[in-house]
Structure 1
């Protein structure tokens, strides 16, 4: 399939979903007018112009001629803010997230033949329960595994905060991939100075983010990202479940969901309502966050939707 045909198919999928592509997007060619390629973005000062990449939703490739941008996370500042870093492997928080990640990894390995088994979503019932804190720490802990790589996706597209937590400026990302056929994965993927950890920002906000996450383009993107590397785990920091619909749509595509529960604040009724939105996800785990004192691992539990 040619580049133009790929772009046309993307545009048709967006229009069928009722989403108008952004201005400047490649339009289907007419009989009298050939399709024009979008102009290449101007290189930043001091940078050489990168080779033009074909407009494909999943163009991440080590042989594409365009390398993903590398960003530097200040690990000292991250540790001072209470986060796990590779430089503090024996800190208490490192041990806590070892306990959290082990059953998640076991279920990924046990269901390796199931599509999407390496897709993991972190969410909460309501805002403020600590889901992004958990997402960042869990991503770093998973990246410290000897045989795993991690792509942390900021899927909280209305209130993205992953890059802010890591001390990085906002950047194009997930929604740009889904709305602009000229954007490829390597245009928005951020490699970090933490070995085996990459980031996919939320990107430019869009009024129909729920429809975008439910679109065929999103399904193809997830398939491509999850299948490209056998050792990759895709970890999604999603919006809270009850005040939004984006995370409910995203959960239907996940292999597992980790639901963060705030100690002494999240009510049983609120938790039950949140769990009811995850009935289509095969594996749901609960993590009790913000406890005052506890033995390592005592806050972690597993919930099966078919159990009482």
Structure 2
């Protein structure tokens, strides 16, 4: 699964798309033109420990630490909102590129938030050996940000995400470019098995917890499912103690 020249496969996606940045700004999300808004400052704080964890104390890269999955216990806690904002915030870093992966393959919501159409993506690569990453990764109008869509739905999504092909794809994504950070928008942990399978292969996990909604039981079970992960970060989302723009979360 090499990041090779574009294929002529009929399912291959267009290689460039335009994110609706005006709509993101209206949703109170991070944009390069948004300045020092409260939500931008929040995600500057959130991303800093994630970036620090990319390297060990001796300066050597930590294996797969640049693979970051954003998940939640249940739907509606704001994981897609957080994944997109995190990716956009990291894309502002110097000498860094970001690949945002829609791994919520059963119910992909990133296209609606970003104003994109349907494109081939992650599932298509796993289902069709003729496709390469270059066929399905979308360049965007945010210079340092690319997107890997979810692609077609499949009943064997869990098995595909747990397959050797997926492990090889993750290694390819993690290792091909030294400056690449990959942010995955995951399915909810307690509704699907795909999220736990994905999290087990990630270097870092961001678990989104909805203020005054996520129960202790749900949080404990979600943490149990990702307990094998060494680096777990909690994001307390939609809290009333923050400004309205900072606590707003897209309902996924």
SS at match of 2:54: helix
Match for residue 189 of structure 2? 241
Stretches of structure 2 lacking an aligned partner (at least 5 in a row): 8-12, 248-252
**Matching of residue 78 in structure 1 with residue 30 in structure 2:** no
Alignment counterpart, residue 95 of structure 1, candidates 17, 41, 44: 41
Match for residue 159 of structure 1? 107
SS at match of 2:16: strand
Match for residue 132 of structure 2? 184
Name which one, 1 or 2, has greater alpha-carbon Rg: 1
Deviation at 1:90, TM superposition (A): 1.1
Match for residue 208 of structure 1? 156
Stretches of structure 1 lacking an aligned partner (at least 5 in a row): 1-56, 300-308
Q: Deviations over 1:207-243 (max 9, x none)?
A: 0000000000001111111111101001100001011
Aligned equivalents of 1:109 and 1:115: distance in 2? Answer: 9
Aligned equivalents of 2:55 and 2:242: distance in 1? Answer: 29
Match for residue 198 of structure 1? 146
Match for residue 257 of structure 1? 205
Match for residue 281 of structure 1? 229
Distance 1:255 1:230, change over 3 A: same
Deviation at 1:265, TM superposition (A): 0.6
Deviation at 1:182, TM superposition (A): 1.1
Aligned equivalents of 1:281 and 1:103: distance in 2? Answer: 16
Please tell me the root mean square deviation across aligned C-alpha atoms, in Å: 1.8
* Maintained 8 Å contact 1:242/1:274: yes
Aligned equivalents of 1:123 and 1:285: distance in 2? Answer: 10
Select the structure with the greater relative contact order (CA < 8 A; seq sep ≥ 6). Answer: 2
TM-score by length of 1: 0.74
Deviation at 1:65, TM superposition (A): 6.3
Alignment counterpart, residue 108 of structure 1, candidates 48, 54, 59: 54
Aligned equivalents of 2:6 and 2:216: distance in 1? Answer: 52
Deviation at 1:164, TM superposition (A): 1.2
SS at match of 1:204: coil
Aligned equivalents of 1:113 and 1:133: distance in 2? Answer: 28
Match for residue 48 of structure 1? none
Aligned equivalents of 1:224 and 1:243: distance in 2? Answer: 28
**Matching of residue 228 in structure 1 with residue 176 in structure 2:** yes
Deviation at 1:89, TM superposition (A): 2.6
Aligned equivalents of 1:146 and 1:282: distance in 2? Answer: 26
Instruction: Trace 1:11-30 onto structure 2 (pairs within 5 A).
Output: none
TM-score by length of 2: 0.90
